Chains A and B, each alone.
Chain A
Amino acid sequence: MLIYNTQELDNRLMGMDADEAAAEGMISPETAGKIKTAHPFTLYSPNNFVRIGLALVSICCVVLGAGLIALLMLDGIGNNWEGFLLFWGLLTYGVLEGWMAGHKHFRSGVDEGLLWSSACFLAFGIIALYENYDTTHWVYFVLTIIATWFSIRLAEPVMTLTAWICGILFVLFASIMYLPGAQFILPFLIMAISAAAYFATTRMQPQWRFRHYDISLSVLRLAALLTFYMAGNYYVVHSLGNELLGMEGEPPLPWLFWALTLCLPPLYIWMGLRRKDRIPLAAGLLLIAAAVFTVRAYHSVMPIETAMILGGIVLVAISYAAHRYLKTPQKGFTTQAMHTKHFGIEQLEGLIIAETMQQTAQPQEPTIFKGGSGGGGGASGEF
């Protein structure tokens, strides 16, 4: 089903596995070299910077091409914009298929650029076509189908995520339209769908025939876990119930939703640690923050700075304890990075620190720098 030559993709996976095994000292570098000569990966797959550049260029070409044609045929298009958008999206998709059949590209930026511009043109066309509110769910239905098709053809993780989100929104709006008693069933319906999707994708992921969809499946599993949590989160159920379903006051079975809000994140973390599975672990860690915010939205337990300090102490303490405990690997866990530290990642970490912690790093706004805003110290804003 993939648009790419799967034999080549197998060679790519094999080369990656060989590099990893060589880095871990499992095979000699010569063997890794021999593996790669025997199974060469020849598709054009440049580094990420070229990839971004090529993606921008392809998007520019598609968008500006559309602009040029639209300018030339301004009178002809007149009030048939939807048709033009859909036509252009399909044309771009045709170019994508043709390009991939003729050129040997893989994640080169051209395929992704064409994919996303085609998808956006189609999506805008469809949204313009169904202007009526009552048909929202049909819009999502069509978008789900398009995004699913694109994900199957290109195994693009972000497109897979889009497909999942559109699918969930379709279920949401369709059940509001057609399902009697939707306000009581909806959270459980979405939870059931998410759980089914999670278990299905977890079972699919290790299978050989889905090997090229590995990242997409990981994304889908993470999304399913997060959706499952959101469907059970008290705040989400409460505010969506009020806004979309016209319910008033607190949702039925409040204790159940509070229990889900507070218990699911630790449960996910436990699942992740037990099965040595990064996806539930990451979901659990993310959702701890969500649980904290949910509690804070309803109960003002303590002032924000006290909460920040306590949270900081807890996080630092846990990581210190884990660091001490895992100094030598325990029960198959380690804190050592699996691969050698990357120069680029180190630089990126530096940038993130400068970006996010710079607020605390500057004392106060010196009046002498009238025009500048460099001194906008976060702390001084609290006066």
Chain B
Amino acid sequence: MRSIFIRQLSDEGILSETERLRLEAQSSSKLFSLHWELKTMLYLGVLLLSGGLGTLIYKNIDTIGHQAILAAIGALCAGCFWYANKHKPPFSWQKTESPNPWWDYVVLLGCLLFISFIGYLQAQYNVFGMRYGMAAFIPMLVLFICAYYFDHIGILSLAITAFAAWLGISITPMHILSDNYFGLERRLIDTGLLVGLVLTAAGAFSEYKKKKPHFAFTYYNFALHVFCIAALAGMIIEDGLLLLYTPALIAGLVFYYLLGVRIRSFYFLLMTVLYGYIGAGYLVIYTLIQAWDSLETGVLYLSIIYLIGSSILMARILIRLNRKLKAHADL
């Protein structure tokens, strides 16, 4: 606490004498935490190491050295899992506290190396033959098992992405829009909806069956975005199927809105409101454009007026929602 505040508060008699002395002693001998610096270094180190080793195998695939590299990766991976297992807190279906950040990243490195290993086996020896599904399925399975066994949200997120990749879509924040060519194939949109449903079910399972209930948020988070984006893509791209995808979007939004209210998560409320806003805006402007023949440039004015009016409405809704959940104004 700032010394001026300490003085002011003790003059006002709010701070007791012991508290004042304790605070004054503290401000001269405060510990300096290197937590985030070291964590970032670890993260970058693991990123570089797994990326570099992955590249190294493929570059040396036809040389003599590659088996040595493979053995080294296998040994390193086994070492990571051995260490992780040794220092692991006892397994529980509830949240367990990780021993330290260093341990988190050892687990992560082990998983990433294992996946490089599998990928290499498939590329070189074709162990899964033509069953390409298996080559994506096995890593996913390993990731899910590790996520639950070691209680690791980072690995769970990787596993969820691998699950979507196994079904053929990509759902990480930066790739969900750029990598999925929803316009080319309707199948992808439907896959997105399916992934959303499955992940929602997984979230509900974790939450109600109390199997790692803190994983529910991660499942729900991916599910909400992939479902709503797929439904919106369906509405916008597949003109003829507006009557199919609009109810899907509305159903998803209602579900997640109620979920947000129930788990008191402002984040979910905001996201449903935003997706709803985009959907409604699309419907209004789509209708206006249909009326171009009769209204002509009036369409432009009406659209802008709609956007301004609806923005103000949005602001009011957000403020009201915030007031409703004030007590838990976090996630």
Interface digits, B165-199 against A, CB 8 Å rule (1 contact, 0 not)?
A: 11111101111000111001101100100000000
Identify which of A59-67, A192-200, A231-239 touches chain B. A59-67
B161 within 8 A of A: yes
Contact A361 B174, CB 8 Å, known A38-B12, A371-B187, A375-B165: no
Closest to A374 in B: B165
Interface digits, B1-35 against A, CB 8 Å rule (1 contact, 0 not)?
A: 11011000100101110010011001001111111
The answer to whether A282 and B45 touch across the interface, beta carbons within 8 angstroms, is no
The answer to whether A355 and B311 touch across the interface, beta carbons within 8 angstroms, is no
The answer to whether B16 and A349 touch across the interface, beta carbons within 8 angstroms, is no
A336 within 8 A of B: yes
Interface digits, B89-105 against A, CB 8 Å rule (1 contact, 0 not)?
A: 00000000000111001
What is the CA–CA distance of A359 and B115 in the complex, to the nearest angstrom? 11
A322 within 8 A of B: yes
What is the CA–CA distance of A52 and B274 in the complex, to the nearest angstrom? 11
A53 within 8 A of B: yes
Q: Which of B42, B51, B273 contacts A316 (CB 8 A)?
A: B42
Name the interface residues of A321-335: CB closer than 8 Å to any CB of B: 322-323, 326, 329, 332-335
B158 within 8 A of A: yes
Identify which of B133-141, B203-211, B236-244, B249-257 touches chain A. B133-141
The answer to whether A318 and B34 touch across the interface, beta carbons within 8 angstroms, is no
Name the interface residues of B127-159: CB closer than 8 Å to any CB of A: 132-133, 135-136, 139, 143, 153-158
Residues of B close to A17: CB separation below 8 A: 1-2, 5
Identify which of B52-60, B227-235, B285-293 touches chain A. B52-60
Residues of A close to B5: CB separation below 8 A: 13-14, 17
What is the CA–CA distance of A332 and B112 in the complex, to the nearest angstrom? 35
Consensus secondary structure, chain B interface: helix
The answer to whether A47 and B58 touch across the interface, beta carbons within 8 angstroms, is no
Q: Which of B23, B50, B119 contacts A364 (CB 8 A)?
A: B119
A255 within 8 A of B: no
The answer to whether B45 and A311 touch across the interface, beta carbons within 8 angstroms, is yes
The answer to whether A319 and B31 touch across the interface, beta carbons within 8 angstroms, is no
The answer to whether A322 and B160 touch across the interface, beta carbons within 8 angstroms, is no
The answer to whether B307 and A26 touch across the interface, beta carbons within 8 angstroms, is no
A1 within 8 A of B: no
Interface digits, B105-119 against A, CB 8 Å rule (1 contact, 0 not)?
A: 100110010011011
What is the CA–CA distance of A358 and B315 in the complex, to the nearest angstrom? 36
Q: Which of A309, A316, A334, A376 contacts B179 (CB 8 A)?
A: A376
What is the CA–CA distance of A346 and B331 in the complex, to the nearest angstrom? 11
What is the CA–CA distance of A349 and B218 in the complex, to the nearest angstrom? 11
A7 within 8 A of B: no
B47 within 8 A of A: yes
Interface digits, A327-365 against B, CB 8 Å rule (1 contact, 0 not)?
A: 001001111111000011011011111111111111110
Interface digits, A275-319 against B, CB 8 Å rule (1 contact, 0 not)?
A: 010000110010000000000000000011111110111111011
Residues of B close to A304: CB separation below 8 A: 52, 55
Consensus secondary structure, chain A interface: helix
Closest to B138 in A: A363
Contact A371 B102, CB 8 Å, known A24-B26, A355-B173, A361-B158: no
Contact A31 B54, CB 8 Å, known A316-B46, A335-B33: no
Name the interface residues of A159-217: CB closer than 8 Å to any CB of B: 208, 211
The answer to whether A335 and B12 touch across the interface, beta carbons within 8 angstroms, is no
The answer to whether A65 and B161 touch across the interface, beta carbons within 8 angstroms, is no
What is the CA–CA distance of A368 and B136 in the complex, to the nearest angstrom? 11
What is the CA–CA distance of A344 and B330 in the complex, to the nearest angstrom? 8
Residues of B close to A67: CB separation below 8 A: 304
Contact A61 B312, CB 8 Å, known A350-B154, A374-B164, A383-B58: yes
Sample (16) of A-B pairs whose CB atoms are under 8 Å apart:
A38-B12, A49-B266, A312-B44, A314-B45, A332-B32, A349-B154, A350-B153, A354-B160, A358-B165, A360-B112, A372-B170, A374-B168, A374-B170, A376-B179, A379-B119, A383-B58
Residue numbers of A with Cβ under 8 A of B are 13-14, 17-18, 20-21, 24, 26-28, 31, 34-35, 38, 46-47, 49-50, 52-54, 56-58, 60-61, 64-65, 67-68, 71, 208, 211, 276, 281-282, 285, 303-309, 311-316, 318-320, 322-323, 326, 329, 332-338, 343-344, 346-347, 349-364, 366-369, 371-380, 382-383
Additional pairs, 14, CB under 8 Å, beyond known A17-B2, A332-B29, A343-B331: A14-B5, A54-B318, A304-B52, A305-B55, A315-B45, A316-B41, A316-B109, A334-B34, A350-B218, A357-B50, A359-B51, A360-B51, A362-B119, A382-B55
